[in-house]
Amino acid sequence: MSAAERQDIPGSRRVVVKVGSSSISGDNAPRIQAIVEALAAAHARGTEIVLVSSGAIATGMPFLSLGERPTDLATQQAAAAVGQNVLIYRYQEALRPFRVVAGQVLLTAGDLENPMHRSNARRAMERLLGLRILPIVNENDTVATHEIRFGDNDRLAALVAQLIGADALVLLSDIEALYTRPPDEPGAHPIHRIAYGEDLHGFEFGSVVVNSVGTGGAATKVSAARLAAASGVGVLVTSADLVDRALAGDEIGTWFAPNPEPASSAGTGPLRTISSSLPADKLTG
């Protein structure tokens, strides 16, 4: 049953958590440990956890002696190939003391648009969860192109939550909550709850930002959250530093209430989609 409110997250059967590149790469790489501890605690109480993690390109950059995120597709793909291996290793090492095994799942947009590939992806993830494996999902940047891609991992996380029938989706960012306008502007106020179908006209969510290590922004999180909520998945947007409190159901972040009458159950109908507004030569990492 979908989490209707934040406090329902601890009792949820299945939760998808998404973390971005800036939260786990560079100087923030040690944050992986704190994130894993929160995931392991939820896993230990019986919740099925799926982690959607960006960071492959950013993690691979130092190994290719790149001082900033590459702009050409081929180098992005090369950085992703190196970084994905390192990223999964770091997660598995952090999970080892908790006796939790990670399973890598790399997807392209085509995998979720093709009915057969989508069915295979769902079956594989269901089996991983049934075996108490913690799937770690990322876009398959090594083979993705600008014609076939998710655009950002917030959207990927929303589609994965829909695919596997998650009860809740937690989108981790760099700030504690969404604001009525960019938080550094005067008059910005945190948004605590957004009812399903609520008119967001008048709120000034920041446009997509492409920084030195990743892609995303408040606007992409709002779009992804509304996509997941329309499918009956409750969504919490909050800071990566508060992941433990998020999974404990504390009153933090911005909560998107789920559709009480979603059109179809997970995996049975065509995936709902949203358009990407990222530049055509950017991969999510």
Contact predicate 194/254, CB 8 Å:
yes
Domain layout of the chain by residue ranges: 6-256
**Is 184 within 8 Å of 43 (Cβ atoms)?**
no
Q: Look at the domain 6-256 and name its fold.
A: Carbamate kinase (3.40.1160)
Annotated binding residue at 18?
yes
pLDDT in tens, 80-102: 999 999 999 999 999 999 999 99
Annotation-wise, does 153 bind a ligand? Answer: yes
- 199 in a known ligand binding site: no
Whole-prediction pTM: 0.88
pLDDT the model gives residue 230: 96
| Measured CA distances, 113 to 38, 116, 177 (Å) | 32, 9, 31
How far is residue 203 from each of residues 4, 123, 235, 237, 276, measured CA to CA in Å? 23, 39, 18, 16, 20
Mean local confidence (pLDDT), 241-262: 96
Q: Is 141 annotated as a binding residue?
A: yes
The first and second tokens of residue 134, run together, are 């913690």
Q: Residue 147 has what DSSP assignment?
A: S
> For 52-79, how does the pLDDT look when each residue is reduced to its tens digit (9 = 90+)?
999 999 999 999 999 998 888 889 899 9
The answer to whether 54 is annotated as binding is: yes
- Cα(35)–Cα(83) distance, integer angstroms: 19
